[in-house]
Chains A and B, each alone.
Chain A
C-alpha cells in the first residue's frame, strides 16, 4: 500500500505507470461490469437489467434536467459512460491500493490532478465544439461579447476557471479521501494494538464517507458537464 509513483518515457512522452495501470483497470471494470449487467435483455427486466436501466434513467435524468429536450439524446450517452467511469475510478482506490517494490501501482486515477484535468479539458473542449456546431462561429463568438464587449476578459477567465474547477474539484475530494485513509492506516500501525483499535472504526467510517464522496463527485462532474454543454448549445 502506498509508495512512490514511477514514471517512464515512451515515444518522447512521460508516462506514469500507476496511472496507466489504474486507468486500464478502470476501463476494463467499466466495460465488463456494464457488459455483465446488460446480458440477456428482456422485455420484462430482471436482475442486472434493472440495475443498468436504473443507471441509464439516472444519467438521462441528469441530462434532462439541464438541457432542452431536443438535445438530450445527443449527450445522454456521454453522461452515462462518464458517470460510470468516474464512479468506478473514484471507488477503485478505496477498495484496492496496490504497491510493489516501493512503487504505487494501483489507486484511484481520479486522485491524480493530471487525470482529472485531462477529463475536464476534454469536457470543456467538447462544450466549445458543441457550441460551434450548434450555433455556428458567429453566434458562438458573440457569446463572449454579451452583454457587452467589456465582459470579454471575464468570459474568457470563466472558461478557464470552469476547466480548472471541474478537474480540481474531483481531484481534491478523492485525493483528500485517499490521503486520510492512508494517514489513518499509518496511525493504526504506528504504536501497536492501542492505535489499531482506535483507528479501525475511524477508518471504517471514513471509508464509508469516501464511498459517498466518490459517488457525489462523479454525479457533480457529470451534472456540471451537462450544464456547461447546455450553456453552449442553447441561446441565452
Chain B
C-alpha cells in the first residue's frame, strides 16, 4: 500500500511530466486568467484614484462657485438698497415739487379770485354811483318838472329826446 515502498527506481519521467505540465498550466493561467484579472484590478485602482481626484477638483470648484455667488448676492443686495434709497429720494423731491406747484397754483387762484372780487366790487360800486347819480338827477328833474311851465317843459322834453337820440346813436 505504501507508494514509496513500491518505488525501487526514481520516477524521472514523473518529474519531467510535472515540470512540463506545471509550466504549461502556468502559461495557460497567465494568458487566460492572470493577465485579464490583474489588468481589471489595475484599471479599477486607476479609476478609483481618478474618481477621488476629480471629486476633489469638483468640490474645490463648487466651493469657489459658492463664494462667488455669495459675493454676487451681497453686491446685489447693496445695489437693491441703493436703488430703493434713490427711489425714495426722487419720490420725496417729486412730492415736494408737486406740493410746491399746488401751493403756487392755489396762491395764484386765490390772488386771481381776490382781484376778481375787488374788480367786481369796484364795478358794482361804480355802477351804483352812476345809478345813484342818474336816479338823483331823475328825481331832481321830476321835482323840477312840476315847477316848470309848458314851454320850458317842451324845451326840456325836447332836450331829453335829443339826449336820448344822442344816447341811442
Say yes or no: A7 contacts B17, CB within 8 Å.
no
Chain A hits for B15, CB < 8 A: 114-115, 118, 121
Stretch at the interface among A31-39, A134-142, A187-195, A224-232: A31-39
B18 touches A38 (CB 8 A): no
**In the complex the two chains form, what is the Cα distance from A23 to B14 in whole Å?**
9
Does A154 touch B at the CB level, under 8 Å? Answer: no
**Nearest residue in B to A52 (C-beta to C-beta)?**
B37
Q: List, in ascending order, chain B residues with CB within 8 A of A85's CB.
A: 22, 25
Interface pairs (16), CB distance under 8 Å:
A7-B7, A20-B13, A23-B18, A35-B29, A43-B47, A49-B37, A52-B37, A78-B26, A81-B26, A81-B29, A85-B25, A112-B14, A115-B18, A118-B15, A118-B18, A118-B19
Residues of A within 8 A of B33 (CB): 34-35, 37-38, 52
Confirm or deny: A209 has a beta carbon within 8 angstroms of a beta carbon on chain B. Answer: no
In the docked arrangement, what's the CA distance between A39 and B95, Å?
86
B contact residues vs A (CB 8 Å cutoff): 1, 3-4, 6-7, 9-19, 21-22, 24-26, 28-30, 32-34, 36-38, 40-41, 43-44, 47
Closest to A20 in B: B17
A11-19, A62-70, A143-151, A214-222: which lies at the interface: A11-19
Query: Known contacts being A7-B11, A52-B33, is A43 close to B44, with CB within 8 Å?
Result: yes
Q: How far is the CA of A122 from the CA of B19 in the complex (A)?
A: 8
B153 to A: closest C-beta gap in Å: 145
The main secondary structure of chain A at its interface with chain B is: helix
- Distance in Å: Cβ of A24 to nearest Cβ of chain B: 7
The answer to whether A27 and B13 have CB atoms under 8 Å apart is no
Does B37 contact A15, Cβ atoms closer than 8 Å? no
Partner of A13, one of B3, B13, B34: B13
Q: A161 within 8 Å of B by Cβ?
A: no
Query: Chain A, 103-131, contact with B by CB distance < 8 Å: what is the 0/1 string?
Result: 01000010111110011011000000000
User: How many Å from the CB of B28 to the closest CB on chain A?
Assistant: 5
Asked if A56 and B11 sit within 8 Å, CB to CB, the answer is no
User: Is there contact, CB below 8 Å, between A27 and B21?
Assistant: yes
B4 to chain A, nearest CB (A): 6
Chain A residues, Cβ within 8 Å of B4: 112-113
A162–B36 alpha-carbon span in the complex (Å): 34
CB-contact partner of A31 in B12, B28, B40, under 8 A: B28
